[in-house]
A and B are shown apart, each in its own frame.
Chain A
Amino acid sequence: MLHSFWPVRIVAITALLGLGCGSSSPPEAMGGPVAMRRLTAAQYRQAIVDAFGPEIEIVGRFEPDNRREGLIAVGSAFVAVTPSGFEQYEAMGNYIAKQVVSEVHRDRLVPCQPRSRTEPDAACTEAFLQRIGPGLLRRPLVDGDVQTRVTAAAAATELMGDFYAGLELAVTSLLIAPDFLFRVEVAEAGPGFADGLRLTDISLASRLSYLLWNAGPDAALLEVAARSGLSDPDSLGREVDRLLASSRLEDGVRAFFEDVFRFDEFEDIGKDPIRYPAYSAQVALDAREQTLRVVVDHLIARKAAYRDLFTTRRSFMTRALGPVYVVPVRAEEGWEALDFATDHPRAGLLSHASFNMLNAHSGRSSPTLRGVFLRGALLCQKVPPAPADVDFSLFNEDDNPKYKTARDRLAVHSSNATCRNCHKLTDPIGLGLEVFDGIGRHRSTENGAPIDTSGDLDGRAFADSVDLGRAFRDSPLIGACLVENVYRYAVGRDPVKSERRQLRYLEGRFEDSGQRLHALLRDVAMSDGFRTATRPRRDPAVEEPAPRVAALPAEKEAT
C-alpha cells in the first residue's frame, strides 16, 4: 500500500529543491482540457446578487455538490442536472424573476418604461436583456439570445395582458439556461499556441473572476475580455491586480478554503446532545465562520505567511463559541478578536473547533478521521480506504474499561499488519489532537486517564497539540500542497503532465514570496497552464487512468 505514497515523497523532495528556483523563468506548460462546470450554490447566489442586488430573495434547494479528488471545484466539472434539481432551478428562477419585475424592484432594475403596461415593447425588452444578460451569461449577448426572448416575451405579454409578464419570462429563461447554470469554458487556436489551444478571452475572464472572487466577471473585466484584452499579458496582469486589490477577493479566498477544508459538510453535521450539551447549530455555524475569519484576517488583511496559520494565536470569538473554548466573551452579539496566551493549548488552525468537530463522530472524537483529513487536505497525501475484510473484532468498543483512551484503543490497530500501514499515517497526527473532543472542546483526560498527544509527523517528533501545529508549519509539504490545491481549484481538474514542472516552479515562487497568498494567486492566474488548454476531454472512463489506490491488494506489505 505504500505505493500510493510515492508521489507524496516526490512532492516533498521537489518542494525542497524548488526553494532556489524562484528567480528562473517560468517553464512552458500547456493546460489540460476545458470543461463545463456547474455553479455551486454560493456561486449561484452571488450571480443573483451581482445581477439584481441583495434584496432579491432566493428560495429553494440546490442539488448536492460532488467532491472529486478532494475538491468540489473538480467535481463541478462532473455533475449534471437531475430532474428534481432542474425543477428546483426553474422554481427558484421563476421566483427571482417575479421579484425582479415586481413593482417594488422594477424601477431600479428595468432601465426603461414600456410604451404601454399591457402591450409588448421590443425596444424596452431588449434594453432590459442587454442590461442583465451579459452579467448572467458571463459573455456579451448574441442576436439569438435577444431575439428568441423578445419574441417569447411579446407572446407572454399578450397572453397575460402585462408587459412585465414578458420580462418575467425573459428573466426565468436566463436563469434556467445551461450557459447560466454551467460555466462553459471554450478554447481556441491562437498565435503562439501551436500544439494546443488557449482559452478564449471570455472563458479566461470567468476562470479568473471565479478564482479570485468566486463570482462571474464584472462589467469592467467583461469589457476587457470582449476586446480580446486578456490575450495580452500586460493587460491581463492589470486585471489580475485589480481583482486582487478588490475587497471581493475575500469571497474568493473564503470559497477556496471552504472547499479545501470540506466545510460544506457542516450542512449534515450532527452531535449527540447528551454527550455534548455545549453544542448547538449556532456553535457549528460560528465554528465554521471563526476559521474562515482567521484565514482571511491572516492571509488577506495581514498578508502573513500561510505556514504561520498553523501557529497563530490570533482568533475571533462569539458568545456561542464561549462554552466550547471556555473563554469569557464580552460581545453579546457578533465577533470579537481574541489572542490566546502563549501557554494556552489553543494555537493554530488545527486547534480550531471547526476541524475537530467536523472530523469526528456524532458522539466522540476520531483520531483516524482527523488524520485522514489533515493528510489529504493540508498535505495532499492520499490515504487508501480501509480494506473490506479486516477482522474488526480485535478493535474493541469505546467503553471497554480496559482501554481508557483513543490511543489505547487504536494501539490494537497497529498490532494488525493490514491495519498498520494506513493507521500509522493517520493516527499519530490524529492522536495529537485528542485533547479536543468531538466538538473541539479542550480536555486533558479521557475516562480518567491522561491524554498523551505526543507523536511524529513524517519523522518530526512533536510533544503535544501545539507542537503538532509547529510540525505542520515546518513541513515542506504544507506550502507545496497549498500551491497544488490552488492550482487544481483554479483550473477545476488535476494537473496534467506538462503542468507538473510549472507547479514545481510555482512552489518555488511561493516559498520565495514568504508563502504570501496574493503572490501565489497572481502567479497562478498568469501561468501558461491557467490560460491554455488541450481539446475538451472525452469520455472520462476512457482517458482517466484508474487510481492506484483502489486497485492495490490489501495484503501487500511494505517495511
Chain B
Amino acid sequence: MSPGITRRRLLRTALRGSLGGAAVTVGLPFLDIFLNSNGDALAATGAPLPRRFGTWFFGCGMNPPRWNPTKEGRDFDLPPELQPIAKVREHLSVLSGFSVILAGETNQVHRTGVIGTLCGGAPTTTTDNIGPTFDILISDAMGSTTRFRSLEMAATGVAKDSFSRRSESAVNPSETTPLSLYTRIFGPGFTDPNASEFTPDPKMLVRRSALSIVSDDRRNLEAKLGQSDRARLDEYFTALRQLEHQFDLQLSEPPPLEACSIPDRPNETPVSQDVAHVVANHELMTKVLALALACDQTRVFNMLFSDGASRLHSPGSSDNHHTLTHEEARDPELGYQPEATRFVMHGMEAWATFVQILASVPEGDGTLLDHCLVMAHSETSDANSHSVTGLPIMIAGRAGGRVRPGVHVRGAGDSTARVGLTLQQVMGLNISSWGSKANETSRSISEILA
C-alpha cells in the first residue's frame, strides 16, 4: 500500500468521524463529489477539451488611418500598424469601426472606451458603480470548474492596472511579475495532473474547515448591515467559496492533462513602465499563463500590456506614451506622431507574441489557441482626441471550433456591445441581447463565427 493511499484512508476516516459539528457539514459534499467508493479520485472524464476566454488590453489605441484595414472579408490588407500581426493573421480576426455609443453621456477620458466595451454601456458619472465586466459573466457561466476563477496580469507591474470587476468595489487585482504569477499557479498548492502518484495534504482539510467556520457566521453579520454593505459581503463570500473550491481540487486527484507541463520558474525581473521591461515581462507572463491554461488552472484570464492612458516610457525621454499622444507634434510629412506611434507598434508586436505563444502549445488535435477565445482591445482609437469611435479590436483563437478566424469586419459605428454579445454567446451564454441604453444590441457578429 502506498503512502498516498494510507493518507487518503486517514483523510476519509477523519472526514466521517471526527470533523464533527460545523466542520463536517462542509466535509461531506467534498467526499460525495470528489472521491468514489474505492477512495480513488475521479478519473479523467473524457470530456472535450475546455474552452477558455481572455482579454488582452493595450492603452492609448492607434492611428486609425494606419491601423484600420481598408478591405473587408478574408483577404483584408494589413496597414502599417497591423504589420506586426502578419505572422499570426491566420489566427485572428480584426474588428474595426465598433464604437462606444455616447448618446449624450460625457466621454470620460481613458475610461468610457474600456468600460463601454467590457460592460456594454457608457458610464454616466466618474464614480458610476459599473460592472460586471463580461469576463466575469463568462466565468460565472462556466461555474467553479478550475482552481482559479480567473487570472489577471499586468505587464506594467501595477496591481491596480486591471479592468476586470464584478462591481466597482471588487476590481480583480493583477499579478505584477512573472515570478508572482508563476508562484501563484505552480507554487505550493499546485497539483501536477500528470504526476504518477497523488497524495492529498490533510493540512488542506484543516484550512478548508477554517473557511466553513466563517461561513457559519454569515447570518449574524448580515443582520447588522445595510443593503450595499450586504452586497459587499456577498462579494466576500463569493471569494470565499472560490477558495473552498480551490482547496477541494487540491484534495482530489486531478484527471491527467496531456498538454500540461510545468514551466521553468522565472527569475526576478526588473519591473517598471520602461517599455523594454514591459515587453520582457509580458512575454514571460504569457508563457506561464499558457501552461496555466494547458494545466486547466483557470479558463478565464485578463492580460494587460499597458494601462489606459498608457504610462509606457522609453529611457531618457521626458514623456510617456500618454503624454506623447497629446503633446507630440504630428510630423507634417508622416502625418502622425512618430514617438507616440512607436508605442503602438510595441503593443501590436506584443499582441502577436501573445498569440504565437498560445499557438505554440499543442493540445488535442490542434493547439491551445484553438481552444481559446481572446479579445484584444484598447480604450481609444485616436488617443490624441480620446476618441471612442472605431475602437481597435481583434479576436484570436477558435474557441474549440466555434469561431473561424482570419476575417476583417467593419462595424460602421455599431456599438462594441455587439462584440461582447457575440463572445459571450460563443462561450456558451444563453443570451440574445446585451448592453445598456444606446449600446444595447441583439445583433451578434456572425462573420467571425464558424
Residues of chain A at the chain B interface (Cβ within 8 Å): 33-36, 61, 63-64, 66, 68, 78-87, 90, 94, 144-145, 148-149, 151-152, 154-156, 158-160, 165, 168-169, 172-173, 176-179, 181-182, 184, 186, 268, 270, 272-275, 361-364, 385-386, 388-393, 395-400, 535-541, 544, 546-547, 549-551, 553
B221-235: CB near A (< 8 Å → 1, else 0) gives 100111111011101
**A148's contact among B10, B22, B128, by CB below 8 Å, is which?**
B22
Closest Cβ of chain B to A238, distance in Å, is 28
**B229's contact among A36, A94, A144, by CB below 8 Å, is which?**
A36
A362→B278 CA distance, assembly (Å) = 15
- Say whether A173 contacts B214, CB under 8 Å: yes
- Say whether A398 contacts B127, CB under 8 Å: no
A167→B242 CA distance, assembly (Å) = 24
- Say whether A275 contacts B327, CB under 8 Å: no
Closest Cβ of chain A to B391, distance in Å, is 14
B228: chain A residues at CB < 8 Å are: 536-540
20 A-B pairs in the complex with CB atoms less than 8 angstroms apart = A34-B226, A68-B127, A80-B167, A81-B236, A82-B173, A90-B243, A144-B217, A151-B21, A152-B213, A159-B19, A173-B213, A182-B236, A268-B158, A270-B274, A363-B317, A392-B385, A398-B318, A538-B227, A540-B228, A550-B126
- Say whether B169 contacts A272, CB under 8 Å: no
B352-386: CB near A (< 8 Å → 1, else 0) gives 00000000000000000000000000000000111
Closest Cβ of chain A to B24, distance in Å, is 8
A66→B165 CA distance, assembly (Å) = 13
- Say whether B107 contacts A388, CB under 8 Å: yes
A84: chain B residues at CB < 8 Å are: 148, 152, 172-173
Closest Cβ of chain A to B27, distance in Å, is 9
- Say whether B214 contacts A177, CB under 8 Å: yes
**B216's contact among A34, A148, A176, A273, by CB below 8 Å, is which?**
A148
Known A151-B20, A151-B23, A361-B323; judge A550-B106 contact (CB<8 A). yes
B106: chain A residues at CB < 8 Å are: 388, 550-551, 553
- Say whether B19 contacts A155, CB under 8 Å: yes
Instruction: Give the interface segment out of B204-212, B279-287, B427-435.
Output: B204-212
- Say whether B329 contacts A83, CB under 8 Å: no
Known A361-B319, A396-B327; judge A148-B213 contact (CB<8 A). yes
Q: Which of B318-351 contact A (CB under 8 A)?
A: 318-320, 323-324, 326-330
**B273's contact among A34, A168, A362, A544, by CB below 8 Å, is which?**
A362
Known A186-B224, A549-B126; judge A393-B207 contact (CB<8 A). no
Task: Name which residue of chain B comes closest to A184, CB basis.
Answer: B224
Instruction: Give the interface segment out of B88-96, B288-296, B308-316, B412-420.
Output: B308-316
- Say whether A152 contacts B209, CB under 8 Å: yes
- Say whether B210 contacts A169, CB under 8 Å: yes
- Say whether A78 contacts B169, CB under 8 Å: yes
B221: chain A residues at CB < 8 Å are: 178-179, 184
B21: chain A residues at CB < 8 Å are: 148, 151-152, 155
**A82's contact among B166, B207, B229, B231, by CB below 8 Å, is which?**
B166
- 8 further A-B contacts with Cβ under 8 Å, apart from A388-B109, A398-B318, are A78-B169, A87-B239, A179-B217, A181-B236, A363-B319, A388-B106, A393-B330, A395-B326
Is there a chain A Cβ closer than 8 Å to B124's Cβ? yes
Known A82-B235, A536-B229, A537-B226; judge A389-B125 contact (CB<8 A). no
B220: chain A residues at CB < 8 Å are: 144
Task: Name which residue of chain A comes closest to B388, CB basis.
Answer: A388
B125: chain A residues at CB < 8 Å are: 546-547, 550-551
Q: Which of B164-221 contact A (CB under 8 A)?
A: 166-173, 180, 184, 202-203, 205-207, 209-214, 216-217, 220-221
A85→B125 CA distance, assembly (Å) = 27
- Say whether B229 contacts A35, CB under 8 Å: yes
Closest Cβ of chain A to B320, distance in Å, is 6
Closest Cβ of chain A to B59, distance in Å, is 15
Known A159-B14, A362-B311; judge A149-B209 contact (CB<8 A). no
Closest Cβ of chain A to B77, distance in Å, is 28
- Say whether A270 contacts B236, CB under 8 Å: no
A178→B206 CA distance, assembly (Å) = 19
B109: chain A residues at CB < 8 Å are: 385-386, 388
A539: chain B residues at CB < 8 Å are: 227-228, 231
A159→B10 CA distance, assembly (Å) = 8
Known A64-B160, A64-B173; judge A169-B126 contact (CB<8 A). no
A79: chain B residues at CB < 8 Å are: 169-170, 232
A364→B319 CA distance, assembly (Å) = 7
**B149's contact among A83, A165, A268, A541, by CB below 8 Å, is which?**
A83
Known A36-B233, A61-B159, A546-B124; judge A90-B211 contact (CB<8 A). yes
Closest Cβ of chain A to B420, distance in Å, is 21
B78: chain A residues at CB < 8 Å are: none
Task: Name which residue of chain A comes closest to B274, CB basis.
Answer: A270
Is there a chain A Cβ closer than 8 Å to B261's Cβ? no
Q: Which 3 A-B pairs have the closest CB atoms?
A: A536-B226, A86-B239, A80-B235
A399: chain B residues at CB < 8 Å are: 318
A66: chain B residues at CB < 8 Å are: 169, 171
A19→B326 CA distance, assembly (Å) = 45
A145→B180 CA distance, assembly (Å) = 35
**A268's contact among B22, B160, B206, B224, by CB below 8 Å, is which?**
B160
Q: Most chain-B Cβ atoms within 10 A of its Cβ — which of A155, A178, A361, A398?
A: A155
Known A144-B220, A151-B22, A388-B109; judge A393-B232 contact (CB<8 A). no
- Say whether A155 contacts B217, CB under 8 Å: no
A395: chain B residues at CB < 8 Å are: 326-327
Closest Cβ of chain A to B403, distance in Å, is 27
Closest Cβ of chain B to A374, distance in Å, is 20
**B18's contact among A158, A397, A398, by CB below 8 Å, is which?**
A158
Q: Which of B8-34 contact A (CB under 8 A)?
A: 10, 14, 17-24
Closest Cβ of chain B to A139, distance in Å, is 11
B386: chain A residues at CB < 8 Å are: 388-389
- Say whether A86 contacts B20, CB under 8 Å: no
Q: Most chain-A Cβ atoms within 10 A of its Cβ — which of B24, B210, B236?
A: B210
A172→B203 CA distance, assembly (Å) = 12
Is there a chain A Cβ closer than 8 Å to B252's Cβ? no
- Say whether A160 contacts B326, CB under 8 Å: no
A391: chain B residues at CB < 8 Å are: 385
Closest Cβ of chain A to B312, distance in Å, is 10
**B327's contact among A68, A268, A392, A537, by CB below 8 Å, is which?**
A392
Is there a chain A Cβ closer than 8 Å to B129's Cβ? yes
Q: Most chain-A Cβ atoms within 10 A of its Cβ — which of B22, B148, B232?
A: B232
Known A148-B213, A550-B125; judge A83-B172 contact (CB<8 A). yes
A81→B129 CA distance, assembly (Å) = 16
Closest Cβ of chain A to B306, distance in Å, is 13
- Say whether A178 contacts B243, CB under 8 Å: no
- Say whether B210 contacts A270, CB under 8 Å: no
Task: Name which residue of chain A comes closest to B20, CB basis.
Answer: A155
Q: Which of B57-115 contact A (CB under 8 A)?
A: 106-109, 112
